Amino acid sequence: MGIGPPAASPPYRIETPRLVIRCWEPEDAPLMKEAVDSSLEHLRPWMPWARYEPQTLAEKVELVRMFRGNFDLDNDYVYGVFEPDESRALGGSGLHPRGGDGSLEIGYWIRADSIGKGLATELAAVLTRVGFEQCGLVRVDIQVDPENERSLRVPRKLGFTEEATLRRRLPPKDDEGERRNSVLFTMLAAECATSRCMDFDYVAYGPLGREL
């Protein structure tokens, strides 16, 4: 089965009481760089891309442009996560077409000085709801390194089903390393309404800034 876009494209902007989740824009490059650069020790064990950091500001601008272009073309949906006044980037997330038609996979990272506040849980819950309520998905997936205990708690807390440990599915941590195992969590559309995802409210906006 080929991988195609969801029935409806994800929102360009999502607001919760504590977060703004939206497309990265080129002018966000300094905020992205500051969030990543201040969190490298925290990110490197789990995020393979972090081993190529720190990047220059020019490289971050090009990365953000690529993220936005892929979002506009319905190829991949990468979000920045910001404080409500958007003065600081708190992390990154996305809805990624990795599991076949009718599904998207949530990824997430939170900057080092903002962990332990439940932000990843809130982020994953809201994107799960968005996937079902706005995009018409059949299934939402989350894959986690089995050694990442903090990240494993997020889908477990929200009521995702732990389906399997998939062997050698995640990229290696370094150039000489082996691919890593992943724990696959899933939630089906019919399961969302009785899950803890419903504890987290949001407002979503389309590309013209209109509420969906």
Residue 209 CB neighbours (<10 A): 8
Q: Is residue 122 part of a domain?
A: yes
Q: Is residue 2 part of a domain?
A: no
Q: How many structural domains does the chain have? A: 1
Q: Is residue 62 part of a domain?
A: yes
Q: Is residue 204 part of a domain?
A: no
Residue by residue, pLDDT tens for the chain (212 residues) are 345 668 899 999 999 999 999 999 999 999 999 999 999 999 999 999 999 999 999 999 999 999 999 999 999 999 999 999 999 999 999 999 999 899 999 999 999 999 999 999 999 999 999 999 999 999 999 999 999 999 999 999 999 999 999 999 999 988 888 999 999 999 999 999 999 999 999 999 999 999 99
Q: Is residue 33 part of a domain?
A: yes
Q: Is residue 207 part of a domain?
A: no
The predicted pLDDT at position 4 comes to 60
Residue 53 is part of which domain span? Answer: 13-199
Q: Domain of 64: which CATH number?
A: 3.40.630.30
Q: What global pTM score does this model have? A: 0.95
The predicted pLDDT at position 7 comes to 85
Q: Is residue 1 part of a domain?
A: no
Q: Is residue 211 part of a domain?
A: no
The predicted pLDDT at position 1 comes to 38
The predicted pLDDT at position 2 comes to 42
